[in-house]
Structure 1
């Protein structure tokens, strides 16, 4: 989601299969779909459990038994690539890969069907093209031996061709289930004609030089993304097309770059924090936090709006997934806000704005991604992320105060001290979690990846012993959901890494760096251009792919101009957050609407006010480096 967001309105595969006439082919397709579902979901969920076990055993052996297990990282890395590929398969079957649906949602039902067909055929095309290079890559890795485990690296690399083959089968089943055989064949023929046409144009394309970057990475990516093709497949198709048609680079390189990009051990924090976010909701820890804040501030005019800002700040520090944060806070607060006369549109606008406000609050997945692609210390990023979030919370608080004063919002009865005290006692174990997580990373007890497992074990113990709200029947679906969301996020990182590598190899990054470094006005001008660029990138691309693509290009320039790495990181993340949660393109805004069950049109009137103030807050953070770097150990 990083949001990391999933397309909540995307159809599930079963609904298509279920809509077919009850003939033999339809029953076979349903059976095939179910079998592929079991083949991907069961191992993916078990891999999440295995990763938690492996990482937590690493922490225990190092800090409790003082005998580090040398094979932990290798085994975690081996399991991780399988988790990504199987998770991506689960996400594909569910229709929950991240995609831009603004155009699709506005279309008539007939055209929507056409867009869905295009998305399926585009995915099918990319998977077919990379299947053989993935197999070659796994075969070459067979000669490499993992030093600690003393087994062939093929055990790890085989995840790529097998995962691709699984998703390829799913796309064939989906194509046959959602259209007649005639339409499916026509779609495939049309796709073949497009690929054939591009191959025939190869001599022309090779003569274009760097103009091909515009053709493939602006034209083709833009066309695919806007027609609703999942972002990961859009990036993958454009990169494969660019390398195979305009360069002499072997296509196996694409798979190597993908593998390198998405299997950074740091990124293992993604599934761990996503699962932790789910646990917080399941164990009622989020509800306990919100109840305490409501008792503390509920009597102030507009009090529950302040509670929403504070609760998102607290919860954001735990789950790392924006969709999980909003899903944890909104259901606990919105019914009470409605009772007190809050407007649906204003509530969803403030929810989306708090999503953007808390993007830097650790352990944010975007910060983890920045650390993985730029080499900046994640402990430094986590330490720095707290203050910018507070600055933006104060800015949003000003808007709430002004609105409440203007509208004369009703005040509710003040909670008694006894009620506040009681709710504080109930909330204390939950309130402690963000501090436990942060302290463990900042003090160096555990890495960003390992600390998530400490949080998971803590949440399980507190859920079982203190809140006694842990429904074990919900754990299995939660594990499958975690694998699906993680696979969707990490596949984008993989394909975006391939795309970023292509941009770097073409020399474009050097040209861009030179142009931005020579902007008149030096560092302030560069910072201003970066803010505007990342607001736009965040609205179209989502935070994580934007960072993977442009982080390696822009961070070195910022460094040359004397801007602190950590300061630049905070500004970039806040700017992307505004883009991610601002309509009409911001995916985060639609996720907020889906979670709060509000029509997107209702919040649009209100959100611009919040976004304008968030932009002012971001400019303040950019202008005052101390906000980001004041608490770092120099």
Structure 2
């Protein structure tokens, strides 16, 4: 997901050129190593599948080796994302400042990031040294070799931060920023006795207020969480910082999350081979001749393509260029097209494979197979709501001259699209049936897509393949660092006892479980606007799911409600990050599209309320 000219960043797809990047020479060997690690992870996972299911001889050391490579990939990828400016951040408020104020604020943010890393670096070293005393059970090597990735990644990020400051910042801004950070630390240290008396009020001061200030400054979300948690632990508790490193490690290292970089790579292959466009062409031949047909094609394409890529940005970038020209010819206004594109991508986010559902399953302990099965049904409910609105809006659509394609034409596009159409159903059926885990299926899907793309869809050159591997490492690093720092913040939050207070408050709400659902919808829509889905899940799932269970709400039902709520928030202007990305992909001004999206947001909200009120939609297929 990408940095946009409108001032909003998501996980990047548009990187700066090598010449524009401050650490490009330093990072070339790091990028190469990350590409090798990603290939090694896929090879190990694929070998594990082959030996377990094909030869009935599981390789016992595969999981350990993959876990080691995974943490190194996450930390090196985080450094690459720093180099490429691809970490998720909110820059709407930053861009509202004047040029000079913006430059200083960006410098202050980078100094804050560098300070955070430097303060935690000794703890990361201590953590790795302590892990050296632990020997892995299968490989029989010290676990410190794996844990050292955190310290190495931090060192690389510090070097890149320094390089960026030297290249882009004014010396005076750097000096003032360093002095400001030191002054804040000194004031907080002097106030430590008074802060200790505040109790849970420190949650608002540090974990909420600190993170909000960093977010407003344009600091990447991963570091917003990290800085807020570091300040909270350092100035209100006696907890050693090595504990924070341990929680970050735990948040990034779940074996379930191994499927995240693999599905990200799958989305890159989809873009590179044109498999997604083949699906779009097939649907267009089937539905394009009827009123609202192109809107149906857009929604259906997002639904099916999402089942391959697992990435909203990849989905939108695949579908929009193929459909927008014809939609404009038929009289669709660009702002209406953007509104449908954005909400369609939000609708399809529960369609497997969904990185959000994988992370939710990992954090909340919910079956990913059940989430994938239910997610498919929930997306259908939202699809019907958006399609109905699209049909109403298409009353005056111009379909003059549109000829219904012949059966031969439809058959031809179906034949071309068939190998691509098969893939999402393979993924869903394999995971939902329990025949394979999401991680195992992701590796099989990548190999299938690469071979099919090479043989039938034009192939992928070596240079393009290498760029995809590096891009996947950067995207995955950005995602996983958010999960790591969010896990540390969630742990700090639970240690305060706040979760018990929240449970008591929620349990006393009038109206029972449905009132709790409405409160959850409002909360996750708000967080979806500001934070995107993944950090919100990691932060609140450990707190909210036990409350939902105590109220008799099924885990899968609650999962579908909060994920849908976050997706609605993600696309809701004026803050929703996904809305701006859709505008960038469709080359439409956000100001122009902002008014048009609200009816579609309304349709999504109606669908969401129906899903919340009727558990059957979430549970019928389980």
Please indicate the TM-score interval, normalised by the length of the shorter structure.
over 0.9
Alpha-carbon offset, residue 433 of structure 1: 0.4
The reply on whether 1:109 has 2:102 as its aligned counterpart is no
Distance in 1 (CA, whole Å) between partners of 2:410 and 2:428 is: 26
Please report the TM-score for the alignment, with normalisation by the length of structure 1. 0.95
Counterpart selection for 2:114 from 124, 127, 130: 124
Match of 2:44 in 1: 54
In structure 2, list runs of 5 or more residues that go unmatched: none
Distance in 2 (CA, whole Å) between partners of 1:5 and 1:275 is: 20
Superposed CA offset, 1:543-564 (max 9, x none):
0100101001111111111111
The reply on whether 1:311 has 2:301 as its aligned counterpart is yes
RMSD (Å), alpha carbons: 1.8
Distance in 2 (CA, whole Å) between partners of 1:72 and 1:199 is: 46
Alpha-carbon offset, residue 200 of structure 1: 1.4
Aligned-partner SS, 2:454: helix
Superposed CA offset, 1:40-66 (max 9, x none):
211111111111111111111111111
Alignment of 1:55-70 (within 5 A): 55-70=45-60
Match of 2:533 in 1: 543
Alpha-carbon offset, residue 12 of structure 1: 4.3
The reply on whether 1:504 has 2:508 as its aligned counterpart is no
Alignment of 1:178-577 (within 5 A): 178-406=168-396, 412-577=402-567
Alpha-carbon offset, residue 119 of structure 1: 2.1
The reply on whether 1:153 has 2:157 as its aligned counterpart is no
The reply on whether 1:6 has 2:14 as its aligned counterpart is no
User: Does the 8 Å contact 1:6/1:485 carry over to 2?
Assistant: no
Q: 1:83 to 1:430 in 2, by over 3 A?
A: same
In structure 1, list runs of 5 or more residues that go unmatched: 18-29
Match of 2:83 in 1: 93
Distance in 2 (CA, whole Å) between partners of 1:135 and 1:2 is: 32
Alpha-carbon offset, residue 441 of structure 1: 1.1
Distance in 1 (CA, whole Å) between partners of 2:448 and 2:13 is: 33
Alpha-carbon offset, residue 156 of structure 1: 0.3
User: Does the 8 Å contact 1:13/1:174 carry over to 2?
Assistant: no
Aligned-partner SS, 1:209: coil
Counterpart selection for 1:163 from 130, 143, 153: 153
Superposed CA offset, 1:486-533 (max 9, x none):
100110000000000001000001111111122111111111111111
Worse-matched range after superposition: 100-109 or 422-431: 100-109
Alpha-carbon offset, residue 8 of structure 1: 5.7
Q: 1:328 to 1:13 in 2, by over 3 A?
A: closer
Worse-matched range after superposition: 304-313 or 173-182: 173-182
Match of 1:22 in 2: none
Counterpart selection for 1:140 from 117, 124, 130: 130
Match of 1:77 in 2: 67
Worse-matched range after superposition: 173-182 or 464-473: 464-473
Distance in 2 (CA, whole Å) between partners of 1:8 and 1:370 is: 22
Aligned-partner SS, 1:385: helix
Alpha-carbon offset, residue 181 of structure 1: 2.7
Match of 1:27 in 2: none
Q: 1:541 to 1:451 in 2, by over 3 A?
A: same
Alpha-carbon offset, residue 443 of structure 1: 2.4
Distance in 2 (CA, whole Å) between partners of 1:404 and 1:423 is: 25
Superposed CA offset, 1:224-268 (max 9, x none):
101111101110011011011101111100000000011111111
Distance in 2 (CA, whole Å) between partners of 1:585 and 1:362 is: 26
Distance in 2 (CA, whole Å) between partners of 1:556 and 1:34 is: 46
User: Does the 8 Å contact 1:360/1:385 carry over to 2?
Assistant: yes
Q: 1:8 to 1:475 in 2, by over 3 A?
A: closer
Alpha-carbon offset, residue 2 of structure 1: 12
Q: 1:39 to 1:465 in 2, by over 3 A?
A: closer
Q: 1:413 to 1:115 in 2, by over 3 A?
A: farther
User: Does the 8 Å contact 2:247/2:487 carry over to 1?
Assistant: yes
Alpha-carbon offset, residue 187 of structure 1: 1.7
